[in-house]
Structure formats: C-alpha cells, structure tokens
Structure 1
Amino acid sequence: MGDWGRAEYLAREGIRDRRVLAAIASLSREDFVPAHERDAAQEDVPLPIGHGQTISQPYVVALMSEALRLRGCERVLEIGTGSGYQTAVLALLAREVFTVEIVRELARGARRRLHRLGFGNVFFREGDGALGWPEAAPFDAIIATAAPEEIPRALLNQLKRGGRMVIPVGAMNETQELLRIRRGMPGLLPRVERLLPVRFVPMTGQGSSMS
C-alpha cells in the first residue's frame, strides 16, 4: 500500500478530513519505524519502536488527528513523541507543535528524524508528559499517544478555553477509552466525548490527575 493508497484506505474506513488524508499521504511510515519493521509499516497495525513503546496504527493516528479539528493556525501540545510519526502529521496540520517524550533515546531519535525531514515548526522536550509544557501554554489543542489512568490535571489546565484534547484513558490491563475533551468557560465542567475503545501503552509519570 503506497502513501496515497493508505489515504484512500483510511477514507474508506471513515476518515473524512481531507487535510488529514493529505498529511498521511505525504509521509512514508517506513521512515518512522526500525529497519526490521519496514516491511510491516504498510500494514494498518501498531508496531514496536523499542523501549517498550509502539507507533500507533495509521487509522488511529488519522482518527485522533481528525478529532482535533485543526485548521492550520493552532499551537498543539503532543504528549509522547515516540518515533515522531504522529508529530509529523500534526506539524502538517498546525502552525506549531510542542512535543514531550520521557524516553530519552526516542526523543532524540525523533528530533533527528524530523529535522532531517525538514520540519521546522516542531519543538521538543524530554520529560514527564503528564506535566505538559507550562511555559508554552495555553494550547489550542492537546493530543496524547500514551494512556494515563485518569486525565492529568496539568494538561487540562494548559488547554485554551474552547480547546480540544484527545487522549486515551485507562489502565493497561483494563478497557481504555479514547476521549475528546473540550474545555468550556470558567465555572463549567469540561465536555467529554467517548470516541472508541483503544489500547495504548501507559503514560509514564502522570503527575496529578483530575478527581
């Protein structure tokens, strides 16, 4: 399946945002996986990238990106850089991407990879993603590619009013749910939508969570 072939497959699976499909089509997933996984990179499956972490299947990457409803002018916070594949998709959809990875080797590998591919609108940090990036907040959108057991309070606090956060929530050995959370006006509770059941690696650190 070529890059445009992958986008056509995702469109058949229900992805409708043309900008998301074009971003997926412009990238080679093979560039973001270890050499011994490149033959499998065309498949719509998650793949190991080392250090107990995975690259999400393209459908989930596309779905999460679409759920953010990006138009190109946003500043986005990503929790869990991994190999940089989701980061690259976001960088094609938003004005700036701030990405945090706790595994040093993955963070530095993704930085080198994205610089080599010419992405100049991505900013990198090594550390506990559950703490977010307070100095760069607030963000128009936040996305997490690892699952906390509860929604980290720090991330919600760094989301703009009216902003959207897409995050998998739940323990590793239990059913996780992919949520879209919209932060409302002061005094109003966030609006939470359940998108679909998922399975993600656990978020390391996790700071403090919402009660």
Structure 2
Amino acid sequence: MAKILLVDDEESIRFTLSAFLRRDGHVVVTAASLDEALHALEPANGGPPDLVITDIILRGENGLDFARTVRERCPFVPVILLTGRPSVESAVRAVTEGAEQYLTKPVDKEQMLQAARTALRHKALDDERRALVAERENLRVHLEAVFQAVPDVLVTVTPDLRIQRMNLAARELPGGARDARQTAGRRFDEALGLFAPLFR
C-alpha cells in the first residue's frame, strides 16, 4: 500500500482517479491547487508521499513547477504528469523535471493503474538500492574502525604488494612509518625498513 498525492483542479477527475487508486489498495491524498499540494508535502502532514500525480495546467498555476518543487524537496518521490493539452514543450520540460511518466487525458483506469504501479515499482527498487549502498558504507566505516583499533600492526597491500593503508599501530612506529605519505603506493618490500622496529 502506497501513499499517493493526486493534484488536479477538476473535482470529477480527482474523484475518478482517486477511486481507481484506492480500489487498487493505495491511500490517496487529493489537492485542488498547488497551495494544497505544497501543504500536503509538509512533514506535519505525514511527510512526503510515495508518488505524486499532478495535472500540468491548474487554473493559472503550473504543475511542471510543482514537479520541480517535488524533485527539490523529495528527490526520491516519482512524479506522473497529466495533461489535456499535450505539446512538445511540455513533454520536453516533463523530462527535464524528471517526471516518471507523461500521460494525456482522458486517462482510463488501466492506464492510471499501470502508470502508478510502474512508478512505485521503480521507487521500491531505487529505495532498495540506496539502502544497500548505505548499508555497505556503514559496514565499511565499521570495518575501518576495527582495523584502526587493532593493537597489532596491520598493513594492507595490493596484489602487486604496494601498500594501501596502515592502522594506527603501524603509524605510531618509530622511524617514520607514522607518515602515510611516505608509504602509500610504495612496494611493501621497499618500505620494509620503516617497519624494522617490529623485527628487533
């Protein structure tokens, strides 16, 4: 179940499209103007939706401007743009503003549901990818902290035995090993003299 923000100044369209989406299992928040839509994005109103569907022409207001605002405030929320007056200019700008899809009215039930499902599936995959990247970074930071905290001297090398990095214990050796600039990129056997204290 996803939270969808539907923005259209025509009540009949809001009613029809929100009914399609609710029957598909989604929570739908509707807005008749950009002011209402911006208000719906506020954290106090439950935070960003999972998907925004907005008309381009809204009684003198521009849904494309709102799409840009969504991208700026909620960069991971996909936007589907609707228009009853398709044009090359609006289609190009839709792409520029990062719209997930650009649909021409009238939009039937299957069209709407297919567009929403595709956008939400893309968002789920993107969310999963970002979570994996964040998890990998957290693991890297943790492993680096463990590497640095080990009291024994640790040195990592490349397959051709060039020094990548040393832990704190290695840097604190007398004789210059503490200066990573002296050792980074050097072959381990060439820099072995820096680690002479270990072999005394």
What is the TM-score with the length of structure 2 in the denominator?
0.35
Greater strand content? 1
Higher relative contact order (CA 8 A, sep 6+): 1
Bigger Cα Rg: 2
